[in-house]
């Protein structure tokens, strides 16, 4: 019998501190198969994916079809009443356990899962909940191999070494009943909070969509019909863009002591203009423009190796940009202040940073650098956009992070295994609705007002969800330290339960032996029993 882990509190009266190996009849591991990407149809054999198992939830639809004719072990079929454990998963889900309820036939364990063979003397509901408790989660977190940013693995040996405090069987049932009631209410509350957060994100998307369609400023336009049209503004931007290029070329000629050739102005490259043939109509006085037309810097970040030395210049990475286009001003890496790419790769307030490489869901997320931290640089997976002073950066930010931008990203991205990319050339061609200069400020303010309310509500929901999760963990902690339900001195002690487990384990071993040697077993049965 193993000694109790430091994560397991003092054992209540009538309980025993044991390892999981002391309780189980065994562990069955799944197998690896080359499968089809699609789910198995009814009566087809399939193998569960790692995503089939989350905390307490088994999703049988998360499976892959096994090709017809493939040989496999039918004993690996998942059955109702199985306790499954996720052997290989993310840091959050490695070791996740489920008690399988109703389950379709013809589903097999994968090599990333285990089946825990538990004795009938134990309550399956109690055991599954116990393996999800903070006491056990802490142990699995220490046992699992791998990094927190990738898949982690826990071995059968480590699973068997998990320490548990075992109550009497009757108390197990009382604990399971109490948890079923308490956690079902908590789960419903958490799901309601998640649903509300999802609705807020949909509302955020609708606000951004209304912004680029001009709906948010429709009343303002009715009262200000005499503003300079955006088409005139765009022509001025293009003229200033060319002038900026010419000034830069003259500066280079001067630095190098050269006289400009007669045709040097002809080398100017006109920016990419929008193809409006498939673009929707815009409000009066608006026009379509591209980032190439309205920017004078489109620049990749540094690929130099960064460090944790906080005395250097912080470097924004793709993880610093949230999915909603905000900057997370923490978890920085740094470059020395004397780095040879500075100051050309230092951000300025108003710069946009576009995430050019990420997963398909996150590539293209864009944030506005408002000046903090200062100074600050950016990594190679980001592209810096510096716009003309006549274009409010938030106008492009709204377009890129809204539905319009997401549709465009999906259309133009190059995708490889686990990664998607949108390069600078494609980013330059992104077309966005350009309002008149006078309307831009009004539009940005209207969006900010709406989004600030959404963010306030979302923070409140996130806080409530976090509180619910903390309460869930506290409830589980109390349950498995004898503090959730009262002890009953009339309960049969856990030591008696352990003896019954030993009897069941011995009977299982004999049955396995008889199955492997049926002729020897038949000879024993033919003998006359003693008087």
Q: CA 382 to CA 423: how far, in whole Å?
A: 10
- pLDDT of 270 reads 95
- pLDDT of 6 reads 42
Q: Any residues with CB less than 8 A from the CB of 115 and at least 6 apart, and which?
A: 27, 28, 30, 78, 82, 83, 84, 85, 109
Within 13 Å of residue 275, how many CA atoms lie on the same side as its CB?
Answer: 4
Residue 530 domain-assigned (yes or no): no
* Domain residue limits at 180: 172-223+441-484
Q: CA 128 to CA 67: how far, in whole Å?
A: 32
Residue 11 domain-assigned (yes or no): no
Q: CA 464 to CA 450: how far, in whole Å?
A: 22
Q: Do 456 and 347 share a structural domain? A: no
Residue 26 domain-assigned (yes or no): yes
Please state the separation of Cα 516 from the chain's center in Å: 47
- pLDDT of 519 reads 57
Q: Do 142 and 181 share a structural domain? A: no
Q: Do 429 and 304 share a structural domain? A: yes
- pLDDT of 526 reads 36
Q: Do 419 and 286 share a structural domain? A: yes
Q: Do 260 and 397 share a structural domain? A: yes
Q: Do 358 and 453 share a structural domain? A: no
* Consecutive H or E run containing 54: strand 53-54
Q: Do 408 and 268 share a structural domain? A: yes
Q: What is the pTM of this model?
A: 0.77
Residue 429 domain-assigned (yes or no): yes
Q: Do 115 and 52 share a structural domain? A: yes
Give the CA angle between residues 358, 359, 362 to the nearest 5°. Answer: 80
Residue 2 domain-assigned (yes or no): no
Q: Do 218 and 111 share a structural domain? A: no
Q: Do 156 and 25 share a structural domain? A: yes
- pLDDT of 7 reads 43
Report which DSSP code applies to 150. Answer: S
Listed in order, strand segments (DSSP E) in 319-453 are 333-335, 352-355, 357-358, 366-368, 377-378, 382-387, 414-416, 419-421, 431-434
Residue 9 domain-assigned (yes or no): no
- pLDDT tens for each residue of 300-320: 999 999 999 999 999 999 999
Residue 248 domain-assigned (yes or no): yes
- pLDDT of 298 reads 97
Q: What is the chain's pLDDT, residue by residue, as a tens digit (531 residues)?
A: 444 444 444 678 889 999 999 999 999 988 887 888 899 998 899 999 988 988 778 999 999 999 887 878 888 999 999 999 999 988 889 999 999 998 899 999 999 999 999 999 999 999 999 999 999 999 999 999 886 556 899 999 999 999 999 999 999 999 999 999 999 999 899 999 999 999 999 999 999 999 999 999 999 999 999 999 999 999 999 999 999 999 999 999 999 999 999 999 999 999 999 999 999 999 999 999 999 999 999 999 999 999 999 999 999 999 999 988 999 998 899 999 999 999 999 999 999 999 999 999 999 999 999 999 999 999 999 999 999 999 999 999 999 999 999 999 999 999 987 799 999 999 999 999 999 999 999 999 999 999 999 999 999 999 999 999 999 999 999 999 999 999 998 999 899 999 999 999 899 888 877 777 665 544 443 333 333
The CATH number linked to 268 is 3.90.220.20
Q: Do 465 and 386 share a structural domain? A: no
Number of domains forming the structure of the chain: 3
- pLDDT of 14 reads 85
Q: Do 321 and 212 share a structural domain? A: no
Instruction: Please list the residues that pair with 160 across neighbouring strands.
Output: none
Residue 191 domain-assigned (yes or no): yes
């Amino acid at each position: 019998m193993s000694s109790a882990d430091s994560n397991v509190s003092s054992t209540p009266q009538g309980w025993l501190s044991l390892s999981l190996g002391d309780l189980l009849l065994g562990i069955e591991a799944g197998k690896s198969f080359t499968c089809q990407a699609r789910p198995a149809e009814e009566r087809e054999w399939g193998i569960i994916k790692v995503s089939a198992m989350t905390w307490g939830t088994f999703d049988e639809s998360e499976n892959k079809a096994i090709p017809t004719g493939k040989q496999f072990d039918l004993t690996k079929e998942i059955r109702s009443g199985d306790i499954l454990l996720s052997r290989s998963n993310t840091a959050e889900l490695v070791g996740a356990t489920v008690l399988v309820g109703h389950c379709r036939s013809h589903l097999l364990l994968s090599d990333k899962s285990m089946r825990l063979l538990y004795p009938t003397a134990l309550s399956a509901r109690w055991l599954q909940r116990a393996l999800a408790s903070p006491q056990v989660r802490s142990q699995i977190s220490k046992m699992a191999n791998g990094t927190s940013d990738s898949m982690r693995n826990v071995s059968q040996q480590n699973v068997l070494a998990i320490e548990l405090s075992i109550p009497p069987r009757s108390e197990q049932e009382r604990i399971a009943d109490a948890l079923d009631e308490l956690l079902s209410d908590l789960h419903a509350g958490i799901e309601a909070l998640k649903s509300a957060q999802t609705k807020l994100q949909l509302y955020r998307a609708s606000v951004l969509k209304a912004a680029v369609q001009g709906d948010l400023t429709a009343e303002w336009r009715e009262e200000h019909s005499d503003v300079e049209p955006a088409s005139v503004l765009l022509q001025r931007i293009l003229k200033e863009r060319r002038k900026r290029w010419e000034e830069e070329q003259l500066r280079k000629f001067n630095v190098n002591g050269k006289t400009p050739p007669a045709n040097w102005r002809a080398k100017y490259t006109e920016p990419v203009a929008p193809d409006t043939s498939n673009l929707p109509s815009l409000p009066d006085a608006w026009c379509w423009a591209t980032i190439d037309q309205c920017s004078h810097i489109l620049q990749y970040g540094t690929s130099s190796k960064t460090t944790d030395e906080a005395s250097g210049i912080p470097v924004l990475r793709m993880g610093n940009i949230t999915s909603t286009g905000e900057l997370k001003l923490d978890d920085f890496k740094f470059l020395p202040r004397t780095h040879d790419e500075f100051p050309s790769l230092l951000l300025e307030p108003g710069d946009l940073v576009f995430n050019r490489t990420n997963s398909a869901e996150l590539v293209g997320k864009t944030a506005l650098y408002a000046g903090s931290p200062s100074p600050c640089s950016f990594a190679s997976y980001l592209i810096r956009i510096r716009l003309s002073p006549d274009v409010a950066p938030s106008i492009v930010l709204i377009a890129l992070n809204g539905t319009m931008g997401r549709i465009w990203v999906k259309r133009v991205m190059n995708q490889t295994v686990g990664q998607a990319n949108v390069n600078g050339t494609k980013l330059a061609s992104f077309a966005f609705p350009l309002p008149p200069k006078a309307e831009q400020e009004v539009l940005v303010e209207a969006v900010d007002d709406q989004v600030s309310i959404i963010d306030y509500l979302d923070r409140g929901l996130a806080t409530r969800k976090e509180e619910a999760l903390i309460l869930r963990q506290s409830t589980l902690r109390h349950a498995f330290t004898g503090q959730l339900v009262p002890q009953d001195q009339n309960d049969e002690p856990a030591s008696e339960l352990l003896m019954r487990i030993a009897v069941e384990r011995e009977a299982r071993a004999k049955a396995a032996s008889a199955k492997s040697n049926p002729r020897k077993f038949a000879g024993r049965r033919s003998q006359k029993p003693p008087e």
